[in-house]
Amino acid sequence: MSFSKDGAPADPGAAASRMAWAKVNLTLHCTGQRADGYHLLDSLVVRAGVGDRLDVAAADDLTLTVSGPRAEGVPTDARNLVLRAAEVLDAGAGRGAALHLEKHLPAAAGIGGGSADAAAALDLLAAHWGVPLPTETAQFGADVPVCLTRGPQRMQGVGEILTPLSALPPCHMVLVNPGVDVPTPAVFSALSDKNQPPMPEVIPSFAGFSELIDFLSAQRNDLAAPAIARGPVIGGCLEALSDAALARMSGSGATCFGLYATVAQAEAAAHRIASAAPRWWVAAAPILAA
């Protein structure tokens, strides 16, 4: 058997892996509410170069093990979105796979930790078993369709309408999570005005970092106010990121991001914040181009 650079077996039939990159909502406008209670969104979504890793190896039974710095509290049974995705994809055929998930992203944190894992599982197992992806991927969560993509996307509807955007200028990010629990349904229901303006009809392409920041500064995350009301420490994360060109919360929180022009600035900010708040989760990562 031959081995790839990271020591994994190189034969894709025997073992393979996918990265489940963090999902970040650079903007999140709530533009309405459907009759079933789900909210209509208009969001500019990117993936950051920090994530979980999902490996698969051939096996008779379907199993999942979880390790890594953020494994604590992540279910290993059918509640795990990785196994849910595997079971729907298998459709009762009884296929096996030994899955291993290395958790680096905080869960229920507004950066799609679970949704990105579900998308990675669908992509990885569709290739491993030679079966098509399900047509309806929002059944695993509103964020799963966007997590099946990689480059910047405009996400609308309740998450199922995706429009790929031009590549963004190089941009570095610091992600900060203070460990406070702000459940997504509670944050949505505390939102006082659910009919707020969308982003401009046309999202321009950006000549450089400062044009991107100018555009984003005029947009919003409508869930920030209700999330901060529930977890005031989120405001502390935004203050910690005040040297960024833009600091904002992602999704329904609690993770916040800061945008920086250079990797050196992002790494310096991440180091400063991690030293000042050693219990917070802090990561510096680029925005993925495509």
Ligand X SMILES: C[C@@](CO)(OP(=O)(O)O)[C@H](O)COP(=O)(O)OP(=O)(O)OC[C@H]1O[C@@H](n2ccc(N)nc2=O)[C@H](O)[C@@H]1O
As beta bridge partners, residue 3 has 9
Q: Is 108 annotated as a binding residue?
A: yes
Task: List, by residue number, the catalytic residues.
Answer: 23, 143
Q: Is 113 annotated as a binding residue?
A: yes
CB 269 within 8 A of CB 262: no
Exposed/middle/buried for 132, CB within 10 Å: 0-12, 13-18, 19+? Answer: exposed
Site string for ligand ADP, 73-92 (x = CB under 6 A): -xx---xxxx----------
**Sole binder of ligand X in the list 252, 269, 281, 285 (CB under 6 A):** 252
Residues numbered 174-213 forming contacts with ligand ADP, rule: CB under 6 A: 184
Q: Is 71 annotated as a binding residue?
A: no
Helical pair 81-90 and 113-129, crossing angle rounded to 10 deg = 30
**Residue 170 gets which letter from DSSP?**
P
Among the candidate windows 92-100, 184-192, 193-201, 229-237, which touches ligand X by CB under 6 A?
Answer: 184-192
Q: How far apart are CA 228 and CA 237, in angstroms?
A: 10
Q: Give the CA distances from residue 41 to residues 7, 156, 271, in Å, rounded to whole numbers and listed in that order.
A: 42, 5, 33
Which of ligand X, ligand ADP, none binds 86 (CB below 5-8 Å, type-dependent)?
none
The stretches of the chain forming alpha helices (DSSP H) are 81-90, 113-129, 144-147, 184-189, 209-217, 224-230, 233-240, 263-276
**Sole binder of ligand X in the list 106, 145, 152, 159 (CB under 6 A):** 159
Residue 112, interface with ligand X (CB under 6 A)?
A: yes
Among the candidate windows 25-33, 108-116, 165-173, 225-233, which touches ligand ADP by CB under 6 A?
Answer: 108-116
- Please state the residue numbers annotated as binding site for ATP: 106-116
Which positions lie near ligand X, rule CB under 6 A?
A: 25, 28, 38-39, 41, 43, 110, 112, 115, 141-143, 158-159, 184-185, 188, 251-252
